[in-house]
Amino acid sequence: MGETRFDIVAMGDAIVDVIASCDDEFLDTHGLPRGSMQLLSPEAADVLYAAMGQAREMSGGSAANSMAGIAAMGGKAAFIGQIADDQLGAIFRHDMRAFGVDFATSALSDGPPTGRCLILVTPDGQRTMNTAPGASHELTAATLDRDLIRDSAILYLEGYLFGPDKPRAAMMEALAIAHGAGREVAFTLSESVCIAARKEPFLAMIDDGGVDLLFCNEDEAIILTGLATLDAALAQLSAKVPTLVVTRGQAGALAIENGERVDVPAAPVGKVIDTTGAGDMFAAGFLTARAKGHDLKRCLETGGLAAADVIQRYGARPDGDMRKVVGL
Amino acid sequence: MGETRFDIVAMGDAIVDVIASCDDEFLDTHGLPRGSMQLLSPEAADVLYAAMGQAREMSGGSAANSMAGIAAMGGKAAFIGQIADDQLGAIFRHDMRAFGVDFATSALSDGPPTGRCLILVTPDGQRTMNTAPGASHELTAATLDRDLIRDSAILYLEGYLFGPDKPRAAMMEALAIAHGAGREVAFTLSESVCIAARKEPFLAMIDDGGVDLLFCNEDEAIILTGLATLDAALAQLSAKVPTLVVTRGQAGALAIENGERVDVPAAPVGKVIDTTGAGDMFAAGFLTARAKGHDLKRCLETGGLAAADVIQRYGARPDGDMRKVVGL
């Protein structure tokens, strides 16, 4: 992989997180399942925002968080995502560049505003996400930088962006460009991919050999395959993707690659403040270690350390010296 | 004071803080004196922002922070300040209302964007503030809600807003309205008031009996009076204002009222994370205790507890159960 300009280029939601604390009763009142992610209409987002307490804003987006993490751990990362030409878009772009992530997708000057994700954090640190995607779902194939994709060892696709038609079409085109250039394609599942309407095209994509490296958590593996046990789900998925990486929360993580399975325990964690970004930082750690040529076990452990770090504070992105945190 | 609708109404900067960590070298490179506040042109703000690391955004503004604090401690607070009709303005308004602060000043639909303050926090927790005031300095007397001012026991004026002509004129008119209705006027000095050009009109205002309650820190007291020692400065200022309240950092705080001087030590503090908002929360605690009829010592202690709380985390506003923190 050493000959490419970037270790990885990601396509994902370009959104700003709006993070507020709340109690469990607030989630009940607003009918929000704990720990879930739902898409909100602009109107519903305004209603929920008005009801939320004081908030802090931080750039987010699952794959964007991962690219920030990779850059913070010393990897070479780029990002493709759609912001609008507005203040939140400027914040998103600033923060990507502040990490050293290449992010050059032009801002939309007409259309919906930059997307935001209203994140409610309960006292146990669990996050419930309510996304008003805005401009983020306006990403089209026309905006793709083909040379950038060809010049990145891995194309990383975010599940959240697999639902809406335009970004999904852009992803499929990017996948063809990447494979055409002999690059690997990684995909991170997200709850929303497992919803019936999105499940079929996704399963078709992996059946077609579209995914070289699949990230998911154990619930997603089970829901996606519709099988009763994790082992059955792992068997089915690992037969379809060369590298399968599964996070298991407090039980750690595992990977199956070319028939070899490696399990690692979770990294030690103090007080959990906000679980937002745990999966994103896990993927970032795994991929950075992989880009540096480490074995599967070390990749899983690096992911675990990065995830443990991010859940001990508010926000989904690295802070401080991440190379030291993960020992890379 | 019990007969008014609000305990306090403040006029101050309506800005969103953009908070990033940096090292001391960064401050040197950009010629920023540690712990200072400077006003930036929009162009200079863009240059500094581009150089800053990843940031988090949180509503700010000195007096606005204090009103949020007062509301969080159970006081009835209102705020007058100028935002623009943009995303940062919407964030500012949301956060004021989330605390229960009355904030109804109309957003400007043409003119500069909502102000922002680029706050750089060094590893010792010290903050250096770089304000691009934007719409905030467009506040005019025409926007004042006279009934609101008459219906608030205290009018609280922020020094940062005393510099620019339009907001200063608005403040002077508000002061006349408040005194005309028999209300008290409080003023919080800020470094910038002590600059030569602003010092004279301010001293004229206190000589005219415009200020009933003055908040400042010991440096500001000395610079404002031009006297050599704190005692001399206190003697001069306390002769001009009925209630003088002076914060002294780790040395605590003191107040002089009708010839009586009360000193209190600083509240205990663990690790200082970010000193932004210490003075704002001190004033909030003092004024909330005062609105509830407590004596000078208790007011100072309440201010100290509120200040100690805010410097142990990022951001300048209350978080969690502030009534419990200060015991009100």
**Tens digits of per-residue pLDDT, A295-318?**
999 999 999 999 999 999 888 899
Structure-model confidence comparison of residues A35 and B102, the more confident one: B102
Under a CB-based contact definition with an 8 Å cutoff, are residues A276 and A237 in contact?
Answer: no
pLDDT at B1 over 50: no
Question: Could you tell me if A94 lies within 8 Å of chain B, comparing CB atoms?
Answer: yes
Question: Could you tell me if A273 lies within 8 Å of chain B, comparing CB atoms?
Answer: no
pLDDT of the residue at B49: 97
pLDDT at A190 over 90: no
pLDDT of the residue at A95: 97
pLDDT of the residue at A1: 44
Separation CA B7–CA B292 (nearest Å): 9
Cα distance from B206 to chain A (closest Cα, Å)? 36
Separation CA B326–CA B285 (nearest Å): 8
Burial class (CB in 10 A: 0-12, 13-18, 19+), A167: buried
pLDDT of the residue at B300: 98
Q: Across-strand partners of B79? A: B10, B103
Question: Could you tell me if B317 lies within 8 Å of chain A, comparing CB atoms?
Answer: yes
pLDDT at B193 over 90: no
Cα–Cα distance list, A4 to A9, A144, A286, A291 (Å): 11, 18, 19, 11
pLDDT of the residue at A305: 96
Q: How many independent structural domains does chain B possess?
A: 1
Confirm whether A37 is domain-assigned: no
Residue B130: pLDDT band with limits 50, 70, 90: very high
Could you read off the pLDDT of A87-120 as tens digits, one per residue? 999 999 999 999 999 999 999 999 999 999 999 9
What average pLDDT score do residues B180-190 get?
96
Separation CA A169–CA B167 (nearest Å): 52
Confirm whether B37 is domain-assigned: no
Radius of gyration, alpha carbons of chain A: 18
Confirm whether A180 is domain-assigned: yes
Q: Which chain B positions have a beta carbon within 8 Å of A54's beta carbon?
A: 59, 68, 94-95, 98-99, 317, 319
Residue B3: pLDDT band with limits 50, 70, 90: confident
Helix, strand, or coil (residue B202): helix
The widest CA-to-CA distance across chain A, in whole angstroms, is 54
What average pLDDT score do residues A33-48 get?
92
Q: Nearest-CA residue of chain A relative to B49? A: A94
Q: Please state the separation of Cα B319 from the chain's center in Å.
A: 17
CA-wise closest residue to B283 among B234, B213, B212: B213
CA-wise closest residue to A191 among A165, A221, A154, A167: A221
Cα distance from A156 to chain B (closest Cα, Å)? 22
Sign of dihedral through CA atoms A221, A223, A225, A229?
Answer: positive
- CB neighbour burial string for A260-290, b if at least 16 within 10 angstroms, e if fewer: eebebebbeeeeeebbbbbbbbbbbbbbbbb
pLDDT at A2 over 70: no
Separation CA A25–CA B324 (nearest Å): 21
Residue A86 has, within 13 A of its CA and on its CB side, a CA count of: 25
Separation CA B252–CA B124 (nearest Å): 19
Amino acid at B208: D
What average pLDDT score do residues A147-158 get?
98
Confirm whether B38 is domain-assigned: no
Lowest mean pLDDT among A62-66, A137-141, A273-277, B82-86: A273-277
Tell me whether residues A95 and B55 touch, CB distance under 8 A. Answer: yes
Q: Count CB-CB contacts under 10 A for residue B106.
A: 9
Tell me whether residues A87 and B113 touch, CB distance under 8 A. Answer: yes
Q: Nearest-CA residue of chain A relative to B48? A: A94
Q: Which ipTM score applies to this complex?
A: 0.92
- CB neighbour burial string for A96-116, b if at least 16 within 10 angstroms, e if fewer: bbbbebbbebebbeeebbbbb
Nearest to A87 among B59, B86, B315 (CB): B86
pLDDT of the residue at A197: 82
Q: Across-strand partners of A57? A: A18, B57
Cα distance from B89 to chain A (closest Cα, Å)? 10
Contacts of A169 (CB under 8 A, 6+ apart): A140, A141
Confirm whether B253 is domain-assigned: yes
Q: Count CB-CB contacts under 10 A for residue A169.
A: 13
Contacts of B168 (CB under 8 A, 6+ apart): B161, B162, B201
Q: Which chain A positions have a beta carbon within 8 Å of B59's beta carbon?
A: 54
CA-wise closest residue to B183 among B202, B210, B214: B210
Residue B96: pLDDT band with limits 50, 70, 90: very high
Confirm whether A51 is domain-assigned: no
Q: Which chain B positions have a beta carbon within 8 Å of A55's beta carbon?
A: 91, 94-95, 98
Q: What CATH number does the domain containing B318 carry?
A: 3.40.1190.20
Separation CA B112–CA B296 (nearest Å): 42
Element (H, E) at A80: strand A77-80
pLDDT of the residue at B151: 98
Confirm whether A45 is domain-assigned: no
Q: Which chain A positions have a beta carbon within 8 Å of B91's beta carbon?
A: 18, 55, 57
Residue B319: pLDDT band with limits 50, 70, 90: confident
**Which domain range does residue A90 map to?**
6-14+61-112+133-326
Residue B156: pLDDT band with limits 50, 70, 90: very high
What average pLDDT score do residues A226-239 get?
96
Under a CB-based contact definition with an 8 Å cutoff, are residues A93 and B94 in contact?
Answer: no
Q: pTM score > 0.90 for this model? A: yes
Report the share of chain B in percent with pLDDT over 70.
99
Torsion of CA B301, B306, B307, B309, to 10 degrees: 120
Nearest 5°: phi and psi at B132? -105, 95
Tell me whether residues B315 and A56 touch, CB distance under 8 A. Answer: yes
Separation CA B52–CA B49 (nearest Å): 5
The structure tokens 């410097």 sit at: B311
Report the share of chain A in percent with pLDDT over 70.
99
Could you read off the pLDDT of B16-65 as tens digits, one per residue? 999 999 999 999 999 999 988 899 999 999 999 999 999 999 999 999 99
Could you read off the pLDDT of B195-240 as tens digits, one per residue? 778 888 999 999 999 999 999 999 999 999 999 999 999 999 999 9
Lowest mean pLDDT among A173-187, A261-275, B279-293: A261-275
Separation CA B189–CA B198 (nearest Å): 11
Amino acid at B179: H
Tell me whether residues B56 and A94 touch, CB distance under 8 A. Answer: no
Confirm whether A28 is domain-assigned: no
pLDDT at B125 over 80: yes
The average confidence (pLDDT) of chain A is 94
pLDDT of the residue at B243: 98
Question: Could you tell me if B315 lies within 8 Å of chain A, comparing CB atoms?
Answer: yes
Question: Could you tell me if A252 lies within 8 Å of chain B, comparing CB atoms?
Answer: no
CA-wise closest residue to B13 among B49, B56, B65: B65
Tell me whether residues B54 and A99 touch, CB distance under 8 A. Answer: yes
Residue A284 has, within 13 A of its CA and on its CB side, a CA count of: 37
Residue B315: pLDDT band with limits 50, 70, 90: confident
pLDDT of the residue at B36: 87
